[in-house]
């Protein structure tokens, strides 16, 4: 059987004028039966990428430029990457046109929400203070808090559970959920941690980092496997 070809969006290194990826994004995709490939951040080729690849993983990384969700940049010391924003917004537009599967992780869920018309907390410690440790210390292959899964929604159906433990390394999150998206996981302090697009075959986003735990945690492994199956069947 031909392995599904999976495009993975890279991080940027301005000092080295380069793109890069952690291997822990690639390994769970390969273990689940996919062929992961790092994408170049070339906006002009976004449409061709959307046609050629079977599925797409939007990875973690820098903050989304607030103008994408209609806000001014507040003085919170945001780490921005405008070129990456432009590429991923263009790529996501083409992916959704093509109806290809998407798994959006951390920054990825924020890109997805902003693209579809939602908004973000720019800095959780000031805009949504909480005792829940959303920005944990290393190592990340352990759980920081729990999220509750929305009954009847795809993630709860996939895992057959009401809650799961997750790691957490983010200072931004969904503030206003984009109208086309539906919630499927939430932390105890009220943050939306998992979403999906009902009208799509598989467009899921999670705020945590399952790539750090996928090789030993059943729920994380199941998430990657579901994504790869969707790409295989698409």
**β 35-38/5-8 pair status:** parallel
Is the predicted pLDDT of residue 234 greater than 80, yes or no?
A: no
Catalytic residue at 211?
Answer: yes
Q: Which domains does the chain have, with CATH numbers?
A: 5-233 (3.40.50.880)
Name the residue among 139, 141, 86, 148 with its Cα closest to residue 111: 86
**Using one digit for the tens of pLDDT, what is the confidence trace for 150-209?**
999 999 999 999 999 999 999 999 999 999 999 999 999 999 999 999 989 999 999 999
For the stretch 66-114, pLDDT in tens is 999 999 998 887 899 999 999 999 999 999 999 999 999 999 999 999 9
Q: Model pTM?
A: 0.97
- 3-class SS at 36? strand
Of 145, 170, 209, 212, which residue is the catalytic one? 209
Is 209 designated active site? yes
How far is Cα 141 from Cα 143, in angstroms, rounded to an integer?
7
pLDDT at 78: 85
- Across 100-137, b (16+ Cβ under 10 Å) vs e yields bbbbbbbbbbbbbbbbbebbbbbbbeeebeeebebebe
Q: Catalytic annotation on 93?
A: no
Tell me the pLDDT tens digit for each residue of 131-143: 999 999 999 999 9
Active-site entry in 106, 134, 145, 171: 106
Nearest CA-CA partner of 187 in 205, 173, 177? 173
């Amino acid at each position: 059987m031909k392995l599904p070809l999976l495009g993975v969006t890279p991080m940027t290194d301005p000092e080295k004028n380069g793109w890069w990826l952690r291997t822990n994004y690639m390994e769970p995709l390969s273990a689940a039966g996919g062929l992961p490939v790092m994408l170049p951040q070339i906006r002009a080729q976004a449409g061709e990428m959307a046609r050629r690849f079977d599925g797409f993983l939007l990875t973690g990384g820098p903050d989304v430029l607030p103008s994408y969700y209609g806000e001014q940049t507040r003085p919170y010391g945001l780490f921005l990457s405008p070129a990456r924003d432009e590429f991923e917004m263009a790529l996501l537009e083409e992916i959704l046109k093509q109806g290809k599967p998407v798994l959006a992780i951390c920054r990825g869920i924020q890109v997805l929400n902003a693209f579809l018309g939602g908004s973000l907390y720019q800095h959780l410690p000031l805009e949504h203070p909480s005792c829940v440790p959303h920005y944990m210390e290393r190592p990340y292959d352990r759980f920081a808090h729990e999220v509750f899964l929305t009954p009847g929604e795809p993630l709860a159906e996939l895992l057959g559970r009401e809650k799961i433990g997750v790691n957490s390394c983010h200072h931004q999150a969904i503030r206003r959920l984009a109208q086309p998206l539906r919630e499927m996981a939430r932390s105890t302090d009220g943050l939306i941690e998992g979403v999906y697009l009902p009208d799509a075959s598989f467009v899921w986003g999670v705020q945590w980092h399952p790539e750090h735990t996928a090789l030993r945690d059943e729920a994380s492994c199941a998430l990657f496997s579901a994504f790869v199956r969707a790409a295989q069947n698409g």
